[in-house]
Amino acid sequence: MNRLIEEARNVVFDVGQVLLSFEPEKILPIMLTEEEQKVLKVPPLFETKMWAELDRGVITDEEEAHYAARLAGDESLWPAVLRVTRGFQEYMDVLPAAGLIPLLKAQGKGVYILSNYNDVTFTRTKERFPDVFRDVDGMIVSGFEHLLKPDPAIYRLLLDRYGLKAEECVFIDDRDVNIEAARAVGMKGIVYTGPEALG
């Protein structure tokens, strides 16, 4: 096990591409027709300022769908975008890092979630993968809090809400910028590039 995890009192996980797979380039061919795929691509469906605002919980998924379809060049396809936005969790898989959670709990460590995730879709994801979230001690999800990583405020919210000391926490996320932000508030950080990062 990674030394930072061994030494930490609390381990904080991101969700997408850490605990659960989130690979739009694989999801879209399954969820869209061939005609829809000709227009709708990963950007702009998942990589726009409006997707971020959806994760922040300040717009609806319908608003995001209209925007992404318009940006793609065919606003009439917004129902297809909405279908993806509301249903992508059905095509996610559990990643090896999730298997660490019961082991960490058995060692007496606290386990927490800190994730950028739309509130509605996160609720569906929890329902689809109850075993992944069952033993978690606390969760900070952007869509419920109206804050996004890497804003330092969302990390401080995690620490304050659950009475955690930053220096006793290690954060695991697949994006460098989010790990840098965690370190800036005093947490340790591991950039998740695959199971070997936690070994």
pTM for the model stands at 0.96
Instruction: Provide the residue ranges of all domains of the chain, joining segments of one domain with +.
Output: 3-21+92-198, 24-90
- Cβ atoms 174, 191 nearer than 8 A: yes
Q: What 3-state class would DSSP assign to 14?
A: coil
In terms of DSSP bridges, do strands 110-115 and 138-141 run parallel, antiparallel, or are they unpaired? parallel
Q: What is the pLDDT of residue 20?
A: 98
Confidence label for 44 from pLDDT (cuts 50, 70 and 90)? confident
Chain segment 130-172, per-residue pLDDT in tens: 999 999 999 999 999 999 999 999 999 999 999 999 999 999 9
CATH code at 3-21+92-198: 3.40.50.1000
